[in-house]
Structure 1
Amino acid sequence: MSFKDTFTKDDQKEGLLGYDDTAFYYFFSSVIVTVAVPWTCSTIYNALFPGQAQVEKDFPTKSKAGSRYRYCSSSAMTDKVDQARKSARFANAGSKAGSVIKLLVLVGLWMTLYLMYLQIGDAKEIKRFDPFEILEISPGASATEVKKAYRKLSLIYHPDKNPDDPLAANRFMQITKAHNALTDETAKANFEKYGNPDGPQTSKVGIGLPRFLLEKDNHLIILCLFFFLLLFVVPMAFICYYQRTKNYAANGVMIETLQFMGYYINEATRLKNCPELLAASAESRTMALRPSDNQELKTLGSQVTEHKKRQFKLPIIIKNDYLLLAHMQRLHGSMSAELRADLDELLKHSLKISQAMIEIACMREWFFTAQAMIEFRRSLIQGLDVKSSQLLQIPHFNEEILKHCLKGKNATSTLTDYLQKDPEQRKGLATMTPDQIADVEAFATHVSNMELKAITEVEDEQEIVVGDIATVSVQLTRRNLQEGEAMGPVHAPLFPEPKFEEWWIFLVEGAPNTRIIAFERIRDTERVVETKMRFQISRPGKHSLTVHALCDSYVGLDQKVDLNFIAKTENEVKREIFVHPEDEDLDLQPTLFQQFMGELGGDDDSEEEEDEEKKKKEKVEKLSDGKQQKAESDDDKKDDSDSSGSESEGD
């Protein structure tokens, strides 16, 4: 029996006697560190600044481009931010049970890491054959001490005295090998030269596996656990995830809602139809009904103005329709706390659902329908009814103040005109306090003063020809922002969440078709935003297009630019293909493959080229010699003919 049979990591023979868990300690400690360190930092940060992470997510200080967000400084929006901070702190401190569980888990991770550190600190280098360690003697022990230690351990670990210990036999063989390595000359020489008495041997090193995974007694348990995880836990996790996500589309809207909206939205759908459509969405119908809602809705319903005949009779749809109409008509004071919470939940769903409604209209190329969906979206954000005045978006404005703004000198009815006036010329401020006037001024400086520019061109061409891909370049500039600034959340004190403004750009055919040719959704809040829309020219003649820029957060900021151009036929415009001189030079350059082949067969090619040149020279010389001989023969013939002619004349 060789040393290899008794001192390897063979599980059948050695029984993990020489197995080393150091690699597993390092691996497991690394895993714990990657989890515990960031979790600990997050816990400490949340403890020192409760709710700050959520506030920074909802109200960031800088955009992705590094620009500083400008926030509205009106009292309503300042209070909203402060309330969001308080709510975040309360939510962070309110879940005490969850915090305690997380803290206990975190403490357990650090305790485990400490235990791993102790194990690593006691660990030695990878185990090797050491006869002194096996015999439990010092390296300088004499032959007598070696023999004495061998006899002592042999009596302890002899297999006959340990019939029930499977490791005793392996241990006895190691003791025997250690004794031979110190007493036998050949074995001793091999040990001193190769590190083991049998000469050069290969070693086995495990990769981060703990000892209990390799012990024979645990194989059945580990195998059962493996199959339990593989055949039960993983499929159940996948099934649960699928059950939670199968009802939702990629945009976060329930598939049932998309199907419902796709069926009921048509080219005649307008703003007055939208509240009931949103109330009939799948997200809305999953909300709960309380017995107390009946009496509260009767009181609220007596104050709500409905603009169309109700289409759906389901109680939850009727309830949520009333809530949306009451929000748009600013009847929040007539709602109970429970109804206000239901309204906030519904408004949170409204952003994704209204986004889907806009996209459905865009895909069907219905501009007026898409415009109505955007109007509905901003009516929910600002709390405006179907026919409400744009000026109600201004802080502290009500119906009484509107009457003063709509009559007399400097009267105005649109938000843009009101904001462009000097503060001294703005009406409706006479009855306001200085703080309220400051809120109006803060709102006026915060609302985007957008400038729209658009041009139509065919890239790298002077003329527009049928079949070309035309490009409409659109530029939006927020003139009220400075360099390095970005537009922060919109002024929307009635909306439960912070909302950043978005702009929809539509390229529309001129009247009477008003078909959407192309559209873009712009979410960039930087000072200058640029986008391009491309379409194919399908017919010759004059084209009249309009670029519409619609804001989804404010009413009255929409802008448009008319684009007129003439498309010519291919016969009217002759285009020459221009090739740059540098491109011509590139054509003369050998390709990479040609260069590679040229390097391999360079000598052969040069010899062939020399042979071809020699052949060409010889051919040219032969041709020149032939021409010279022919010329000489022609001269001889001519001389002969001349001499014969002179003889005939003499005769």
Structure 2
Amino acid sequence: MVEKVDQAGSDKLSSFERSTEVQKDARKGARALSTGSQVGWAVKLAVLGGMWLTLYLIHLQIGDAKEIKRFDPFEILEVSPGASAAEVKKAYRQLSLKYHPDKNPDDPLAASRFMQITKAHNALTDETAKANYEKYGNPDGPQTSKVGIGLPRFLLEKENHLMILCLFFFLLLFVVPMAFICYYQRTKNYAANGVMIETLQFMGYYINEATRLKNCPELLAASAESRGMALRPSDNEELKTLGAQVTEHKKRQFKLPIIIKNDIILLAHMQRLHHLMSPSLREDLDEILRHSLKISQAMIEIACMREWFFTAQAMIEFRRSLIQALDVKSSQLLQIPHFNDEILKHCLKGKNATSTLADYLQKDPEQRKGLSSMTADQIADVEAFASHCSNMECKAITEVEDEKEIVVGDIATVTVQLLRKNLHEGEAMGPVHAPLFPEPKFEEWWIFLVEGAPNTRIIAFERIRDTERLIEAKLRFQISRPGKHSLTVHALCDSYVGIDKKVDLNFNVSTEDEVKREIFVHPEDEELDLQPTLFQQFMGELGGDDDSEEEEDEKKEKTKPVEKLSDGKQQKAESDDDKKDGDDSDSSDSDSDGD
């Protein structure tokens, strides 16, 4: 048995040595890459140092902040306060000749200096200006205080104007566009989820329906983020010792030295061989693991988009294997603090033996095995882990909202409820217990609605990042065929191995002929249909005056013919009455004549 193990180790070592030749050829490229990175850092430091130096020189030019001085004509004219009028006049004449703008055309401050000299002379010689100065401290009378920022002198000097203009255009036309271009060149290589586009293309090509956990370490090592890491000359010797102890579960697909290196350290992490890693290899491992969360997330989404449940399940298994540092066939109990191979042997033997994490957590503290050789602090850590790890309860129902029966063509809703029984009301989950992972991690759950065997196609899925006690997710899908349906809800945790949940759903779907549904319209809805819409109300308000005028005109037109008709009938009736009266009078006349 020992000979077989030694032979296997020598085979792995020889396979690694065969790749040594490739690594030697890649050393030059690695050295050139490292030299290029050093040059890049040197350039960055030089630019930063130049910026700090420029800022320091500007500070020296500007000088320290000074208190605003009051107007002092004696100081301006450089005479003593007790100077006579002749001394003041003499000083004024000398300074005015010295600072006259015509004699100092290249000095931008000469004009303001000459104005101060003139103002100081007036304050000491002119009666009005002198009175204002003695009363208000200024020869011009009461003044409002103004605070401003003075520009450095070198910005106002004429010989520096060309240099300042060139510097301004250099910053505006070169530095700003280059900064934008560099930022765009960097961001255009990344997708919205933070993964490099090259990695997404690579994963989309190599991930297929047969991809499983044993394929994932090499795929992660071949990602663009991993291939961008630098090789060191010392990696060859360090990886020989590590590679001899690593167990490989498949034949290598990629022969690039950086991929081989990162694949080995990923497998060493999953097999908990950190004590064989040098500090530089541990730094490389931590860098890959920091990228692994985003990349594994993208791998899961690729499998979900293609409706491959077993592939998505393998990607989630790989994600939690990296978080918990578990190999392909490692025991779930290694996630418990202070557990090792010796303690696992006690847990798998005798009465109350257990091999899964869920069974171990459900046992009473007195029935848990493997604690006899632990100290009180270690046992307390185990108990804290047992109370911290999610004890999830999963329930799921299938229904069609507002309907009693399910008919072909309906949109069915699967309501999934997850309850963390280890939490009390108002509590939430903390970070995952993952001492070998470089960053804090909060657990996430993936809910999959999957067809029954043999298809196992993903019908709907949902990613849940909520850490509350009660979680609810709704998965909707359209029913396309009648008869019996068998679906399965899988709730998979991405941070712990062995606490996944599964619920089977069975329901019957009727045809439209078998179930006749009456369309019920609520009376309130009918009343709403009779109400004018907002557009109709708006148009009615605009045309309300015109409609009222038209209605009044129509009423007038309708009433006029009726009045005429009634007048005509009345006149006709009067004429008929007249005729009758005439006939009566004629008949009476004739009677009288007969008589």
Q: Which range, TM-score by smaller chain? A: 0.5 to 0.7
- Contact kept in structure 2, 1:154 and 1:172, CA below 8 Å: no
Residue 415 of structure 1: aligned partner: 357
The Cα shift of 1:266 comes to 0.5
- Contact kept in structure 1, 2:100 and 2:111, CA below 8 Å: no
Structure 1 stretch displaced more, 426-435 or 291-300: 291-300
Residue 548 of structure 2: aligned partner: 609
- Contact kept in structure 2, 1:154 and 1:175, CA below 8 Å: no
Residue 316 of structure 1: aligned partner: 258
- Contact kept in structure 2, 1:479 and 1:527, CA below 8 Å: yes
Matched, 1:587 2:526: no
- Contact kept in structure 2, 1:451 and 1:477, CA below 8 Å: yes
Q: Report the CA distance shift for 1:473/1:214 in structure 2 as closer, same or farther (over 3 A).
A: farther
Residue 334 of structure 2: aligned partner: 392
- Contact kept in structure 2, 1:504 and 1:551, CA below 8 Å: yes
- Contact kept in structure 1, 2:100 and 2:114, CA below 8 Å: no
Following the alignment from structure 1 to structure 2, what is the Cα–Cα distance between the partners of residues 511 and 469?
Answer: 22
The Cα shift of 1:384 comes to 1.4
The Cα shift of 1:586 comes to 8.9
Following the alignment from structure 2 to structure 1, what is the Cα–Cα distance between the partners of residues 298 and 69?
Answer: 61
The Cα shift of 1:277 comes to 1.6
Instruction: Provide Cα deviations, 1:266-325, integer angstroms capped at 9, x if missing partner.
Output: 100011111222222233333344444444433333332222222222333223222222
Matched, 1:492 2:434: yes
Alignment partner of 2:446 out of 470, 479, 504: 504
Alignment partner of 1:228 out of 170, 189, 199: 170
Code of the aligned partner of 1:451: E
Residue 522 of structure 1: aligned partner: 464
What secondary structure sits across from 1:302 in the alignment?
helix
Residue 89 of structure 1: aligned partner: none
- Contact kept in structure 2, 1:150 and 1:176, CA below 8 Å: no
Alignment partner of 1:330 out of 236, 252, 272: 272
Following the alignment from structure 2 to structure 1, what is the Cα–Cα distance between the partners of residues 541 and 422?
Answer: 63
Matches within 5 A, 1:251-650: 251-568=193-510, 572-578=516-522, 580-581=524-525, 584=528, 587-588=531-532, 594=538, 597-598=541-542, 604-605=545-546, 609=548, 612=551, 615-616=554-555, 619=558
The Cα shift of 1:596 comes to 9.2
Instruction: Provide Cα deviations, 1:3-49, integer angstroms capped at 9, x if missing partner.
Output: xxxxxxxxxxxxxxxxxxxxxxxxxxxxxxxxxxxxxxxxxxxxxxx
Following the alignment from structure 1 to structure 2, what is the Cα–Cα distance between the partners of residues 436 and 396?
Answer: 7
Q: Report the CA distance shift for 1:625/1:478 in structure 2 as closer, same or farther (over 3 A).
A: farther
Residue 29 of structure 2: aligned partner: none
Q: Report the CA distance shift for 1:468/1:617 in structure 2 as closer, same or farther (over 3 A).
A: farther
- Contact kept in structure 2, 1:507 and 1:547, CA below 8 Å: yes
- Contact kept in structure 2, 1:382 and 1:492, CA below 8 Å: yes
The Cα shift of 1:227 comes to 0.8
Matches within 5 A, 1:36-115: none
Residue 122 of structure 1: aligned partner: 68
Instruction: Provide Cα deviations, 1:416-465, integer angstroms capped at 9, x if missing partner.
Output: 11111111122222333333222211110110112223334444555545
Q: Report the CA distance shift for 1:168/1:379 in structure 2 as closer, same or farther (over 3 A).
A: closer
Matched, 1:163 2:105: no
The Cα shift of 1:370 comes to 0.6
- Contact kept in structure 2, 1:547 and 1:562, CA below 8 Å: yes
The Cα shift of 1:532 comes to 3.1
What secondary structure sits across from 1:412 in the alignment?
coil
Following the alignment from structure 1 to structure 2, what is the Cα–Cα distance between the partners of residues 224 and 281?
Answer: 45
What secondary structure sits across from 1:163 in the alignment?
helix
Q: Report the CA distance shift for 1:289/1:174 in structure 2 as closer, same or farther (over 3 A).
A: closer
Code of the aligned partner of 2:517: V
Instruction: Provide Cα deviations, 1:503-552, integer angstroms capped at 9, x if missing partner.
Output: 11222222222222222222222223333333334444444332221111
Following the alignment from structure 2 to structure 1, what is the Cα–Cα distance between the partners of residues 199 and 220?
Answer: 9
The Cα shift of 1:554 comes to 0.5
Following the alignment from structure 1 to structure 2, what is the Cα–Cα distance between the partners of residues 168 and 401?
Answer: 91
- What is the TM-score when the length of structure 2 is the normalising length? 0.68
Following the alignment from structure 2 to structure 1, what is the Cα–Cα distance between the partners of residues 188 and 549?
Answer: 75
Following the alignment from structure 1 to structure 2, what is the Cα–Cα distance between the partners of residues 291 and 160?
Answer: 71
Q: Report the CA distance shift for 1:329/1:211 in structure 2 as closer, same or farther (over 3 A).
A: closer
What secondary structure sits across from 2:374 in the alignment?
coil
* 5+ long unaligned stretches in structure 2: 1-44, 78-84, 127-139, 141-145, 573-595
Q: Report the CA distance shift for 1:289/1:171 in structure 2 as closer, same or farther (over 3 A).
A: closer
Following the alignment from structure 1 to structure 2, what is the Cα–Cα distance between the partners of residues 338 and 463?
Answer: 63
How many residues align structurally? 498
* Higher radius of gyration, 1 or 2: 2
Q: Which has the higher contact order (CA 8 A, sep 6+)?
A: 1
Code of the aligned partner of 2:102: P
The Cα shift of 1:553 comes to 0.7
Code of the aligned partner of 1:575: I
- Contact kept in structure 1, 2:356 and 2:498, CA below 8 Å: yes
Instruction: Provide Cα deviations, 1:317-354, integer angstroms capped at 9, x if missing partner.
Output: 22322222222222233333333333333222222221
Following the alignment from structure 2 to structure 1, what is the Cα–Cα distance between the partners of residues 487 and 150?
Answer: 70
- Contact kept in structure 1, 2:99 and 2:113, CA below 8 Å: no
Following the alignment from structure 2 to structure 1, what is the Cα–Cα distance between the partners of residues 502 and 525?
Answer: 43
What secondary structure sits across from 1:485 in the alignment?
coil
Code of the aligned partner of 2:422: N
Following the alignment from structure 1 to structure 2, what is the Cα–Cα distance between the partners of residues 566 and 316?
Answer: 55
Following the alignment from structure 1 to structure 2, what is the Cα–Cα distance between the partners of residues 292 and 410?
Answer: 49
- Contact kept in structure 2, 1:358 and 1:373, CA below 8 Å: yes
What secondary structure sits across from 2:245 in the alignment?
coil
Q: Report the CA distance shift for 1:425/1:525 in structure 2 as closer, same or farther (over 3 A).
A: same
Residue 587 of structure 2: aligned partner: none
Following the alignment from structure 1 to structure 2, what is the Cα–Cα distance between the partners of residues 447 and 484?
Answer: 17
Q: Report the CA distance shift for 1:162/1:447 in structure 2 as closer, same or farther (over 3 A).
A: closer
Q: Report the CA distance shift for 1:540/1:397 in structure 2 as closer, same or farther (over 3 A).
A: same
Code of the aligned partner of 1:164: K
Q: Report the CA distance shift for 1:234/1:561 in structure 2 as closer, same or farther (over 3 A).
A: same
What secondary structure sits across from 1:122 in the alignment?
coil
* 5+ long unaligned stretches in structure 1: 1-97, 125-129, 137-144, 184-196, 198-204, 634-651
Q: Report the CA distance shift for 1:228/1:161 in structure 2 as closer, same or farther (over 3 A).
A: closer
Following the alignment from structure 2 to structure 1, what is the Cα–Cα distance between the partners of residues 511 and 558?
Answer: 56
Following the alignment from structure 1 to structure 2, what is the Cα–Cα distance between the partners of residues 253 and 590?
Answer: 49
Matches within 5 A, 1:126-165: 157=96, 163-165=102-104
Code of the aligned partner of 2:177: P
Code of the aligned partner of 2:436: L
Residue 83 of structure 1: aligned partner: none
What secondary structure sits across from 1:284 in the alignment?
helix
Q: Report the CA distance shift for 1:520/1:583 in structure 2 as closer, same or farther (over 3 A).
A: farther
